[in-house]
Structure 1
């Protein structure tokens, strides 16, 4: 992203924000509640229209696209992991993960095979157990698999460990950063947790609408 600006009425949330995350690298953004961290992610997703600036993913510009083209680009180039997973609890992990490919018209067999490989890589059961019966950590790793199934250029994560106990938090964070490195996917994480932020290649703090580099951590 380059020169990103966003404000609500007279309140400036993002002011000339610039950030580049290379394939296989990660960036973590911290900052107090209400500082604009989630707003930044929503701008990248195209759910909020910035006042100015450009956003690209995988070399493709996302800002300025018409709604239909933006939705298509989002499906192709971006993945998203929310704090509470946002999975369908009545579906199995495999069904949840395969769903984006199925909705995009992919062959059922290919979608389920791809989902199975991802779930095995993230150590999640993928049999007939409904996702709602899994542990919090297993559900969140399922959400990571679902976000990655379309092989996005960029994975966004909004407080991906915020609802987990300490043991599950460590496991999900380890798996999230590892799989993005191995798959050469750029990772942008918003978090309040310094132990999560410290795993990133680069760290920033959103201070008074400006992104300030901190780079305090050593990538795991």
Structure 2
């Protein structure tokens, strides 16, 4: 399942701006995340961190600027083309997983492939393989009965099942206890490196931010570098 991306894969945000009424949340933001690298964004609540993720995901339309994922422009697309690009090039991990608790982990992870018309057997085999990589049990147990850490690793698997060029994560460990937080973080950063997936993480946790290749703080509507180079 692991693929080697072309050189223009990854995430590129250029001159991105967004405001709500008279409040500027993002002002001429530039950010590049190459394949296999990770960037963490910290900052106070309400500073615009999640808004930046939603712009990349195409759920919020910026006032200006461009976003490309996997070498394909996300901004300016029609709703149908945007939905297709999102399925092909972007994956998203939410703080609370947003899984269907009555489905098994395999069913949850395979669902994006099935909705995109993939063969049922192939989708389930791919889901099981990815869950094995993330050390998630995947028998017939409903996802709602798994531990918090197992559910969140299932959410990571679901976001990665379509082999996206870019993975976005919004407080992916924020609802977990310390032990589960470390396990999820270990697997999240490892599998993105191994699969050459650009990873953009929003977090309030400095320990999670320290794992990223680079870190920024979003303040005064812009990204301020707080660490460049090798993760801690």
TM bracket, shorter-chain basis:
over 0.9
User: Is residue 31 of structure 2 the alignment partner of residue 19 of structure 1?
Assistant: yes
Helix, strand or coil at the partner of 2:199: strand
Tell me whether 12-21 or 208-217 shows the greater mean CA deviation. Answer: 208-217
Residue 159 (structure 1) aligned to one of 171, 179, 202 = 171
Q: What is the SS of the residue equivalent to 1:211?
A: strand
3-state SS in 1 of match to 2:193:
helix
Q: Is 2:169 the counterpart of 1:140? A: no
1:59 maps onto 2:71 in alignment: yes
Q: 1:60-209 alignment to 2 at 5 Å?
A: 60-209=72-221
- Return the alpha-carbon distance in structure 2 between the equivalents of residues 131 and 216 of structure 1: 38
- Which structure 1 residue ranges, 4+ long, deviate > 4 Å from structure 2? none
Counterparts of 1:217 and 1:97, CA distance in 2: 33
RMSD over aligned Cα atoms:
0.9
Q: Verify the 8 A CA contact 1:203 1:217 in the aligned structure 2.
A: no
Structure 1 residue 219 displacement after superposition = 2.0
* Equivalent pair of 1:83/1:162 in contact (CA under 8 Å): yes
8 Å Cα contact 2:136-2:153 kept in structure 1: yes
Distance in 2 (alpha carbons) for counterparts of 1:155 and 1:40: 13
TM-score for both structures, normalised by structure 1: 0.99
CA contact (8 A) 1:198 1:216 kept: no
Q: Deviations over 1:8-43 (max 9, x none)?
A: 010000000000000000000000000000000000
Cα deviation per residue 1:37-71 (whole Å; 9 max; x = unaligned)? 00000000110000000000000001000000000
Conserved in 1, the CA contact under 8 Å of 2:94 and 2:170? Answer: yes
1:80-104 CA-to-partner distances (Å, cap 9, x unmatched) read 0000000000000000000000000
The unaligned stretches of length 5 or more in structure 1 are: none
Name the TM-score, length of structure 2 as normaliser: 0.94
The runs of 5 or more residues in structure 2 that have no matched partner are 1-12
